[in-house]
Amino acid sequence: MVKKAPPEFQPLTKSNLTILVGLTGVGKTTVLKLLQQRERDFTLLPNRREITDAIIIPTLQREAGETVQPVNDRVQRFQYTARYRAKYPGGMAYALSQLAVAPEKTSVPLIFDGLRGLNEVQHAVTYFPAARFVVLDAPDMVRLNRLLKRDDSFDKTKIQTSLLGKNILAALMGIPDIEAVFNEEELQQIARAARMADIPIDSVVQTARIIVEERRNYDSRAARVHLVRSLSTDQVLVIDTADQTVEAVAQQMADWL
């Protein structure tokens, strides 16, 4: 149970809220950093990663009688958020709906980064009836390449040691359910690019597994379709970030806001 906010605070459900929607690697964080550099007047709320660390994982650990401790493995984090979503309808959208802000200490719009998948956006539309949504999208191959290039320490997960003794293509094909995300030709392209760039096998396999697990948990297309069909054009903006510069994407978002 979330404690009642002090009277000077206003629930996010009644705030001027803009929600970014998109999977890892579509460009949400990069776009927001550029908007901040341009001194766009808005308040950036604690992001998805921070809320997962502060609310979702500790809540589930306490309820299970476990020691509250950080979880850094990306696949394990997907498992925690899935458990939270099963227990608290809407998952991340529900957690966000429990928060409040002090209006006199924030600038509108309030921007949250971000939601993923159909379940979360369905409930967000209910929890935040006045919210606006910016959907950033990109193909899985583009997202994988971006994750490999950004080399973020957050993008880590355990991989089977048996995969590391193989060549890159064989290791990729050993990832469970990878064929649901990447076809054989795409896997060959990934392997060739990794060899040319001299990217370690473990980095390639970890990144591919994260993409696969994320897609297993979140249907980005269904989320986008639901928002476009449910809301007016004033409430939802969809941007394909694959063939645009981050400056162009940030400008579209700024103009729309």
Instruction: Write out pLDDT tens, residues 25-59.
Output: 999 999 999 998 876 788 999 999 999 999 999 99
Spatial separation of the C-alpha atoms in residues 60 and 56, rounded to whole Å? 6
pTM: 0.92
Q: What is the average pLDDT score of the chain? A: 91
Tens-place pLDDT, residues 130-180: 999 999 999 999 999 999 988 777 878 887 666 666 788 998 998 999 999
Beta-ladder partners of 222 = none
DSSP alpha helix (H) spans, the chain:
28-37, 48-51, 57-63, 74-87, 92-97, 117-127, 140-150, 168-173, 184-197, 201-217, 220-230, 246-256
Length of the chain: 257
Segments making up each domain of the chain, as ranges:
10-256
Start-to-end CA distance of the chain, whole Å, equals 33
Q: Is the pLDDT of residue 2 over 60?
A: no
Q: Which CATH superfamily is domain 10-256 in?
A: P-loop containing nucleotide triphosphate hydrolases (3.40.50.300)
Tokens (6 digits) for 57: 């994982």
